[in-house]
């Protein structure tokens, strides 16, 4: 199978391209190839001829139904098959393999989005837990179409999250020993994973008081209440609570009642948990109280829209998706399968949504478009150093970038946010461009003497079109730019390719690819 994505052109103002919007098109009974390719840039790690044909045959809703029915492809089986200690490169390689080749593309794409919401990182204390980190990512994939309440609980009881945000081994208060419940997980569960810092209307806009000030969702006593809830949990196989020798980073954590805070706990909106409940009772009630908060629908929906479709969804778009989060039509709250369906079928997603692509998605789309693979069958490339992004390797729990980040200049003046711009700097832009240039120009099937680890593009079909510059350009326009190539890019491409002899088809194709994938148009997802 082969997959294609969306390109851009040097010299065009990136901010203008990002927020210019997309032209309207007439509704059709079946998506055009370009429309299908655009849909797949949102719903997968990239489009190819086969997937475009599938979307055309099934329609958007039919393709989503088929994807929602597929079982999860998982990282751990691929890693376990190695039969040795797992390294970080092994884990990253497994991520690339599934992102590029797994049939359940929608699930894998949503798992990646969820990994940027329920953030853990292999930096610091988790650096040696690569196999368990892969299992954590599988947990996200397994729950990608499930219920958000269940996902919250499984993440809460994951020892990977417990280690990362210090819930694991969190003890009840013992003032005489200067022991107090750790507030870290309680804070981030509310601030980052569920409701945010301020109260929201159903459309995601911030509620204000009579003086125009935003209304907070919680205060310090509430943080302390939840911190008291999340006490008394440690490794599922631990032989003792403090400093256990047995530490299973995959098995859900288990409760030790003797270390759980027994007193009352103040939760959101004045709810008080009674004293004397078990750790399990307190945890279930606390998660229910968060899950039922009015903010969860708009808070989570907006961030998933940002990851898949649009950096700046309209309040109406957020409200439509949040309504599905609140009720999937069958009285169920938190149905993520229904939510992702609502995001991708929304009129705003299908006509007008625009965002900057994350660095790894620019590469995944190129690789999927041309069925890239190495002679040794592996994807041994770690994007962290060049892209400042690698799966489960954010610098902090705040992800690679904030959903509220605003790039100074035109974007800020327009009152818009630009999350992915936060990961960019002069060095990373240069290194990302160089990596894409190297891949497009010098890593293709048919190159002379490739090393076994080189990940090579299959450009056979494009090579057959190399004698016809217009046909080659249109082929790449559809696969990489979803049919939205600008007139300026098209003319520059024609001018440059005319300088490459038709007797050198490899050079014509790779020069065309390199111009597209290093241009601003390719950096934008329309």
Locate the domains of the chain by residue range.
1-59+354-526
pLDDT in 10s for each residue of the chain, 526 residues: 333 333 333 333 333 333 333 333 345 579 999 999 999 999 999 999 999 999 999 999 999 999 999 999 999 999 999 999 999 999 999 999 999 999 999 999 999 999 999 999 999 899 999 999 999 999 999 999 999 999 999 999 999 999 999 999 999 999 999 999 999 999 999 999 999 999 999 999 999 999 999 999 999 999 999 999 999 999 999 999 999 999 999 999 999 999 999 999 999 999 999 999 999 999 999 999 999 999 999 999 999 999 999 999 999 999 999 999 999 999 999 999 999 999 999 999 999 899 999 999 999 999 999 999 999 999 999 999 999 999 999 999 999 999 999 999 999 999 999 999 999 999 999 999 999 999 999 999 999 999 999 999 999 999 999 999 999 999 999 999 999 999 999 999 999 999 999 999 999 999 999 999 999 999 999 9
Please tell me the distance from the alpha carbon of residue 184 to that of residue 318, in angstroms, as a whole number. Answer: 29
Exposure string (b/e) for 439-467, b if CB count within 10 Å is 16 or more? bbbebbbeeeebeeebbbbbbeebbebbe
pLDDT of residue 156: 98
Residue 344's H or E segment, with its range, is helix 336-345
**In degrees to the nearest 10, what's the CA dihedral of 508, 509, 514, 515?**
60
Between helix 130-142 and helix 105-115 the angle, nearest 10°, is 120
Pick left, alpha or beta for residue 48 (phi over 0 → left; psi -120 to 50 → alpha; otherwise beta).
beta
Q: How far is CA 393 from CA 112, 119, 249, 258, 444, in A?
A: 12, 9, 17, 35, 29
pLDDT of residue 28: 55
pLDDT of residue 352: 87
Residue 492's H or E segment, with its range, is helix 487-497
Query: Any residues with CB less than 8 A from the CB of 81 and at least 6 apart, and which?
Result: none
Which structure tokens are listed for 348?
């705003």
Q: What is the model's pTM?
A: 0.93
pLDDT of residue 13: 39
Which structure tokens are listed for 351?
């006509």
pLDDT of residue 20: 37
Q: What angle do CA 73, 77, 83 make, to 5 degrees?
A: 160
CA nearest neighbour of 288 among 273, 307, 305, 309? 273
Can you name the residues that pair with 254 across neighbouring β-strands? 234
pLDDT of residue 414: 96
pLDDT of residue 2: 33
What secondary structure does DSSP assign to 356-425, as a single string? EPPHHHHHHHHHHHTT-EETTS------HHHHS--TT--SSTT-SS-TT---TTHHHHTT---GGGGG--
Which structure tokens are listed for 524?
């934008």
pLDDT of residue 124: 84
CB 443 within 8 A of CB 455: yes
């Amino acid at each position: 199978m082969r997959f294609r994505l969306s390109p851009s052109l040097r010299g065009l103002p990136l901010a203008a391209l990002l927020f210019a919007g997309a032209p309207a098109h007439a509704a059709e009974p079946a998506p055009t190839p370009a429309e299908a390719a655009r849909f797949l840039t949102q719903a997968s790690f990239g489009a190819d001829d086969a997937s475009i044909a599938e979307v055309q045959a099934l329609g958007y809703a039919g393709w989503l139904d088929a994807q929602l029915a597929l079982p999860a492809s998982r990282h751990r089986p691929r890693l376990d098959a190695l039969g040795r200690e797992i390294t970080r490169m092994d884990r990253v390689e497994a991520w690339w393999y599934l992102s590029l080749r797994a049939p359940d593309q929608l699930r894998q794409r949503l798992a990646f989005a969820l990994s940027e919401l329920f953030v853990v990182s292999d930096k610091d204390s988790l650096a040696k837990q690569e196999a368990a980190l892969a299992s954590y990512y599988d947990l996200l994939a397994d729950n990608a179409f499930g219920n958000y309440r269940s996902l919250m609980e499984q993440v809460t009881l994951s020892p990977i999250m417990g280690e990362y945000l210090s819930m694991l081994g969190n003890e009840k208060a013992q003032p005489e020993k200067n022991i107090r419940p750790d507030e870290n997980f309680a804070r981030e569960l509310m601030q980052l994973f569920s409701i945010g810092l301020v109260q929201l209307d159903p459309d995601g806009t911030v509620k204000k008081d009579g003086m125009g000030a935003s209304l907070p969702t919680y205060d310090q006593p509430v943080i302390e209440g939840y911190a008291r809830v999340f006490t008394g949990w440690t490794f599922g196989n631990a032989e003792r609570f403090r400093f256990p020798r047995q530490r299973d980073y995959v098995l859900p954590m288990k409760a030790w009642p003797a270390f759980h805070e027994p007193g009352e706990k103040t939760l959101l909106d004045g709810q008080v948990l009674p004293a004397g409940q078990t750790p399990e009772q307190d945890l279930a009630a606390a998660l229910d109280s968060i899950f039922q908060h009015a903010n969860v629908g708009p808070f989570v929906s907006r961030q998933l829209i940002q990851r898949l479709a649009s950096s700046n969804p309209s309040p109406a778009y957020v409200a439509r998706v949040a309504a599905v989060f609140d009720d999937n039509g069958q009285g169920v709250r938190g149905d993520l399968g229904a939510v992702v369906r609502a995001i991708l079928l929304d009129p705003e997603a299908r006509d007008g949504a625009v965002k900057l692509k994350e660095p790894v998605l620019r590469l995944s789309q190129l690789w999927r478009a041309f069925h890239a693979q190495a002679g040794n069958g592996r994807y041994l490339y770690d994007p962290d150093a060049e892209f400042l992004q690698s799966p489960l390797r954010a610098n902090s729990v705040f992800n690679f970038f904030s959903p509220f980040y605003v790039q100074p200049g035109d974007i800020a003046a327009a009152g818009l946010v630009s999350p992915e711009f936060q990961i960019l700097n002069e060095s990373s832009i240069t290194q990302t461009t160089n990596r894409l240039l190297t891949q497009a120009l010098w890593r293709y099937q048919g190159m002379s003497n490739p090393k076994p680890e080189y990940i090579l593009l299959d450009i056979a079909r494009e090579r057959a079109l190399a004698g016809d510059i217009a046909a080659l350009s249109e082929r790449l326009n559809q696969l990489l730019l979803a049919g939205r190539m600008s007139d300026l890019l098209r003319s520059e491409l024609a001018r440059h390719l005319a300088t490459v002899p038709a007797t050198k088809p490899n050079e014509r194709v790779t020069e065309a690819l390199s111009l597209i994938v290093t241009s601003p148009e390719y950096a934008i997802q329309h």
